[in-house]
């Protein structure tokens, strides 16, 4: 529901245009789909999405239409144009049912950036370099102004909602962001490493350690010791972000070593966990 200050009996006021939070924003297209961050929470996460619609204009219309009940703080078009829809101080509705590091109200702690791309359903093209440059500039602007966003809190929608979402997907160039000091990322271990894989159907301590390590990094997974479908989905989400060359949900040596490297290089990890 919209805050009372934006309502009148019988009709909804047109959304007021606000001043953008960043000077690199080209346009403001106010969305009615927001509320207050819970308990005055300041955002300490950036969540990246793709729009998953056939055009950027269609996506922007959906994000600024009350009936859709979805929004994001920013939309980045293919040509690098950035549009702001919700002020950063407010809670945009972009994450949906999601969790990270035990937290389930991701909308209250995050700033959502929608990146125009039709996604897997509509051909999933590569992201233009101009668009990625704009995403990097926007993230750096947010990090500089906020000063409270750790590199491992710049995440994909698929990280926080692996059972529902794939965006921004395995074509999103997280390595380019990392080269500009945006996000926590390591070069993935080679695919052809020898060693034992952990795969669907497996049970026992190696599976439990894998699940525990994924949870340590932030993924919503329980250490049941059974490589069930939920584990496969989370491993695929991890690969989609950090080991993009093959997304198959199998914890092969490349995936395991990449996960280990992320744990070892993570800024101020809560604790470390050995993996198989």
CA distance 257 to 5: 52
- What is the three-class DSSP state of 47? strand
Q: What burial class does residue 23 get, using C-beta atoms within 10 Å of its C-beta: 0-12 exposed, 13-18 middle, 19+ buried?
A: exposed
Q: Which of 97, 103, 114, 194 is catalytic?
A: 114
Q: For residue 152, what are its two tokens?
A: 């491992």
Q: Greatest CA separation found in the chain?
A: 67
- The residue behind tokens 């729009």 is 51
Between the two ends of the chain, the Cα-to-Cα distance in Å is: 47
Q: For residue 226, what are its two tokens?
A: 């059974």
Can 78 be counted among the known catalytic residues?
A: no
Burial 209-247 (b: 16+ CB within 10 A, else e): bbbbbbbbbbbbbebebbbbebbbbbbbbbbbbbbbeeb
Q: Among all residues, which ones are annotated catalytic?
A: 114
């Amino acid at each position: 529901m919209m805050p009372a200050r934006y309502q009148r009996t019988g009709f909804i006021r047109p959304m007021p245009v606000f001043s953008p939070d960043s000077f690199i924003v080209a346009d403001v297209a106010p969305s009615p789909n927001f509320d207050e961050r819970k308990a005055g929470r300041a955002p300490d996460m950036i969540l990246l999405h793709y729009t998953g619609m056939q055009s950027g204009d269609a996506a922007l219309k959906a994000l600024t239409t009350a009936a859709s009940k979805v929004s994001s703080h920013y939309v980045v078009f293919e040509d690098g144009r950035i549009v702001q829809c919700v002020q950063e101080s407010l809670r945009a509705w972009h994450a949906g049912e999601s969790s990270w590091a035990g937290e389930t109200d991701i909308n209250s702690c995050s700033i959502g950036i929608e990146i125009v791309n039709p996604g897997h359903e509509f051909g999933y093209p590569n992201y233009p370099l101009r668009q990625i440059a704009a995403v990097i500039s926007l993230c750096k602007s947010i990090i500089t102004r906020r000063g409270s966003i750790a590199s491992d809190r710049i995440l994909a929608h698929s990280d926080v909602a692996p059972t529902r979402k794939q965006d921004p997907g395995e074509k999103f160039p997280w390595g380019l962001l990392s080269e500009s000091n945006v996000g926590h990322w390591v070069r993935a271990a080679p695919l052809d490493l020898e060693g034992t894989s952990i795969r669907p159907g497996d049970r026992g301590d190696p599976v439990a350690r894998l699940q525990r390590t994924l949870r340590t990094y932030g993924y919503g997974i329980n250490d049941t010791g059974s490589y069930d479908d939920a584990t496969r989905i989370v491993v695929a989400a991890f690969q989609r972000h950090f080991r993009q060359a093959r997304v198959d949900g199998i914890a092969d040596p490349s995936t395991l070593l990449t996960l280990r490297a992320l744990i070892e290089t993570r800024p101020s990890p809560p604790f470390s966990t050995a993996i198989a």
